[in-house]
Amino acid sequence: MAVVIRIQSETKRAILRQIAKGAKDSTTSLKDALIAVQGKATDASFLTGRLLISTSGNGQSASFQISTAGFTQDVFVGLTEELINILEDAVANGASEDAAQIDALFMAMCGDDRLQGVRVQHGDFTSLRFPVTR
């Protein structure tokens, strides 16, 4: 069963976009960036309302910030775990995990149902006991 954190889908995609941009700028994999962000949720910087993530790879290093306003540590850790699960599912379905393909991986992840908003709502009227007419 997939983890689904109750955060607006646009917010999830915005956070994923910022993490993907940070990974792309530092030429690290998206999974490494997600794990780095998840690890920072227990850092003292989380309590200040901003996460400062520093990553390095290929002889380069980069830092980026993510706002944590309105998020508890549990929710933020759950969100990053959900994003890691979505990433692993996207890779299992053929998306490339290569650091050079982060934009394509980001788009594949955004296509996942867990990052889409609810567009259709159906009602369950079975308990109203109306007679069926044909």
Domain that holds residue 91: 9-112
Number of domains in the chain: 1
- Predicted local confidence at residue 81, as pLDDT: 93
Q: Does residue 33 form part of some domain?
A: yes
Domain assignment of residue 13, yes or no: yes
Q: What is the pTM of this model?
A: 0.70
- Is residue 125 in a domain? no
Q: Is residue 122 part of a domain?
A: no
134 assigned to some structural domain: no
Position 19 in a domain: yes
Query: Do 74 and 4 touch, CB atoms closer than 8 A?
Result: no
Domain for residue 1, yes or no? Answer: no
Q: 87 lies in a domain?
A: yes
- How do residues 24-80 score in pLDDT, each as one tens digit? 888 889 999 999 888 887 777 676 666 666 766 677 676 767 766 667 778 888 889
